[in-house]
Structure 1
């Protein structure tokens, strides 16, 4: 088993890696939309006292997809290698339609899209509205010329 961390994705909010490879499978820890450079959350607007005023699920969905892609690439996998995705939304009634439309942009062919489960939950550990938990298949490296 090998643990993967990358500066191209936001730092984990606890003591865990971005991903762990076991054989040809890659298990990603929960990944949110925070910006890896400064931890800002795309689309969030705050009141003067720091409380969340509103958020933009489209901006967060696009950001979380970019962060997942960054972890996949750091792990030797590609977006197309995703086989299973669990999506956590903090407001299923409000956000599912917009998130689902962006999903369809990134996975236009259901026959090649990963399996997906979407759950509505009460909260996430930071003021984000979406988090993804993913499993991908990592292709083994091709042998070099002359190797068998």
Structure 2
């Protein structure tokens, strides 16, 4: 993600997502404050070195029909054989199959990186995420005590 992509992503986040949907918590008043916007930039810039970098994480801009619509990530969990994934989409772009298509591309990236497994976590209430995961062959493991769902996928080349 270069600076142009990062700024396009921030515009989408500010216009069509809440901060807590797209980034770790930042202290201060709610909303997209200047401090929160700079924290968003810093978070993504820190991941530019990719899976081999110190944070062992990569973020990607999701583009649909020529427009930035969200972000996806891959992160090493334990050994490089297991990668965790997550993503967010602008509210106005959800429910169109974009998440499932982005996940397919992430599984290809994971295969290229040599991962043997990709994991993701969501909740039973996130129907779109569950559909994208199921559509990509995930094994879904619901928690017995909470609304959390753990997913396990196999990387594959597209």
Structure (1/2) with the larger strand percentage: 2
When normalised by structure 2's length, the TM-score is: 0.35
Higher relative contact order (CA 8 A, sep 6+): 1
Structure (1/2) with the larger helix percentage: 2
When normalised by structure 1's length, the TM-score is: 0.37
